Chains A and B, each alone.
Chain A
Amino acid sequence: MMNLLFDLRYYVLYPSFFNSVIYPGLIFTAILLLTTIWFERKAAARVQMRVGPYYASKRLGGFMQLIADAVKFVFSEVIIPEGVNPTLFALAPVLAVAMSFIPLSIIPVSVIPPSGSVFSIYFRDFYDPNIGMGVLTGLFVQYNMLLILAIESMYPVFVIFVAWVTNNRFAIVGAVRESYLSVSYDVLLIMATLSMSLEYHTLDLAKIAQSGIPGILANPVAAIVFFIAMLMGSARFPFEIAEAETELVLGAYTEYSGFLFVLTMAGSYVGNLVYALVFTDMFLWGWYPLSGFPGALLTGLKASIVVFFSVFLRAVYGRYRIDQALRGGWKYLLPLTFVSLFIGLVVGYIWIP
């Protein structure tokens, strides 16, 4: 019996399973998603002289309202418009969400010390020669920075796919906007990441976080650019341009209803979490100085705060026009990335071993 339990624990805590399914993968993300939307609604309500979700569970501050909404969406009819391919129509949002989830299993959320942690038995399997410790991540690759951004940059392709499948004019305008935006924010993300990788002489997120030097101090310019590009990439205000409600109804997701609609909404929030986790590892020390499971919790906490902050901007900003966002990206932020690149080279040479 004890053996069986031990075996079970071994498999459940095996990082490839634990990271992609439990934390920070499916389950944690789903809970955080609901919490984020709840926070978004509550915080905006506080600013806007309202109460926000309240009656569904007064003691929890209306948190159950989100569950109720989700249940309602799941059981409501999925309307498939005439003249679309039903298979692709149902498949497109699923693929988009699946795509946005994948990077979660590659992001390092903590390190595994050789002994003393519940994860220590996996030390050898997830050994990272750069830092001399194991890394708590679903799949360890030394170039995880690159891989995460590469996978996440596939997400807009699926958004465009969603729009193309629904064959709606508003959706297509939204998809065109999304494609313009994705080209511009991907460049910013990659440039910011590049300057960090030059600064820390690595493409391994774990090494940056474990170095003990917070990226936001080492290269604040890169942090600002990355954060703004994150807002663009996950359609947060003031860059909620591709779904602009009063202009495009709901952009690429105009035709969706019921559960498929929930999936389309989830995609951008998951994307936000992915970027926030990368931001945490890269700029906010990640799990340092903790390790093992507490370290993972610390990373999650910091990432949640980043996500919460980015959804809170809804209460402050309207949305920019697409040309203003693109101009901002190419005219002001791109030169800023060159500055961050320069800072990265200089500071990396002087300060960071």
Chain B
Amino acid sequence: MTDQAEELMKSGGMEIDVIPVSGELNVGPQHPGSGHLRIYVRLNGDIIEEAQVEPGYVHRAVEKLGENRNYIHLIPLVERPAILDSIHMNLGYIMAVEKILGVDVPDRAQYLRSFAAEISRIASHLYGMGILAIFIGHSTGFMWGFGDREVWVQILEALTGARITNSYVIPGGVRRDLTPTIVEMTRKAVTYMRRKIKDWENIFLNNPNVKARLQDVGIMTREQAIEWGAVGPNLRGSGVYYDVRKVEPYAAYSRLDFEIPVYKEGDGYARTLVRFEEIQQSLNILEQIIRDIPEGQILSDRFFKQIPPTRLKKWWEGQRRVVMPGYYASFRPPKGEAVTRVEAGRGELLYYVVSDGSAKPYRLRMITPSYRSIYVMQNLLKGVRYADLVSIYGSLDYFPPEADR
């Protein structure tokens, strides 16, 4: 009976195109809410049945290029995938090279590495927070994220000479020393950020609107987080106590006192809170570093001795910075391979470098935290509402260039 009626409607009467309940949406790569990413979304009403996360739009073949450049020339390249967090990208690579070279890094340089890394972490988290805020329509969070990040970026500029592509860490140490001006800037920035975090709590974290958009959205249980291979704040937001800084301390982290914030809820709000508390922990770390940093060299003796005395006098004694010794231009490390892990802003960053004794690495492998988030995001997007796509995307702090490398 019903079939007949439908047939009658079709043949007679007016032809009406009914908007289908289900359909596909092509979110990205040209979309205000996608970044350099294509998310192919299959919708059923307002519910996402399946979302295919397709990275690769900003793939720059960093790993392949790595096989064709000298070790030292690779520093600017490996930090390009995540220029917001370039200290970490740089640090992981240099640590792998140092392992192959067998260089000891002086204490002061270790502290300086932690110093730069924590500033980079704060800046990276603020950036992620800003992107999350604009994804859920909160423009003030967006501007504040970028505005407050500026303070830290300026410290990095004073310390390293560049705002984002710092290339600060070099084999055997770091390029520049801490000056009293930078210490003063950092003190001010720490005070400023502590004050600003209160404002953030008022307008963003405790905003009922933001809570409504993040709480109980994109819930990832502890088991799922481990199974899907989540890293960094996303893992810790699901109740897993895991941080490379604690598990496998590098730089000066074994001598620094800090806590790893962990939340059990596993939703977007928990991930956001983890990031906020990490910022606060980073501020504590920065204060400790300023207080405890030992005097001494910032470059391993092995390389420091190669710097000509005249240049040493001008640069090191005059401006507390080292110039690259000649050895750096095309050094040939011994045969060997090394794996290093660092806790980058978005999570664990792994480098695997194979040396065949030539001036170029035989193989450079980098597994970035955002790369690990692709699968997580794809799984989390199943069965959520369409509006939650951006909320989950933002709460994972996924950064396409970092994933694509």
Contacts and interface: CB of A to CB of B under 8 A. Distances in A.
Interface of A: 44, 47-50, 169-170, 172-173, 176, 237-238, 240-241, 244-247, 249, 314-324
B105 to A, nearest CB: 38
Interface residues of B, number: 35
Interface string B208-224: 01101100000000000
Contact of B213 (A48, A50, A320): A320
Interface in B68-105: none
A266 to B, nearest CB: 21
Given A246-B135, A318-B213, A169 B140 contact: no
B134 interface: yes
Contacts of B139: 44, 48, 314-315
Given A238-B209, A247-B33, A318 B387 contact: no
A50 B388 CA distance: 29
Q: Report which residue of B23, B137, B139 has the largest number of chain A beta carbons within 10 angstroms of its beta carbon.
A: B137
B373 to A, nearest CB: 18
Contacts of A249: 31-32
B326 interface: no
Most A CB atoms within 10 A — which of B134, B140, B141?
Answer: B140
Given A320-B213, A321-B213, A315 B390 contact: no
Contacts of A47: 140
Lowest 4 CB-CB distances: which A-B pairs, in order? A246-B33, A48-B143, A318-B138, A319-B137
Nearest to A50: B143
A246 B140 contact: no
Given A172-B19, A316-B203, A323-B46, A246 B134 contact: yes
B328 interface: no
Contact of B388 (A173, A237, A314, A321): A321
Nearest to B23: A169
A317 B387 contact: no
A246 B31 CA distance: 8
Contacts of B138: 317-318
Given A48-B147, A50-B143, A244-B387, A170 B46 contact: no
B362 interface: no
Contacts of A247: 33, 386-387, 389-390
A110 B159 CA distance: 65
A243 B389 CA distance: 15
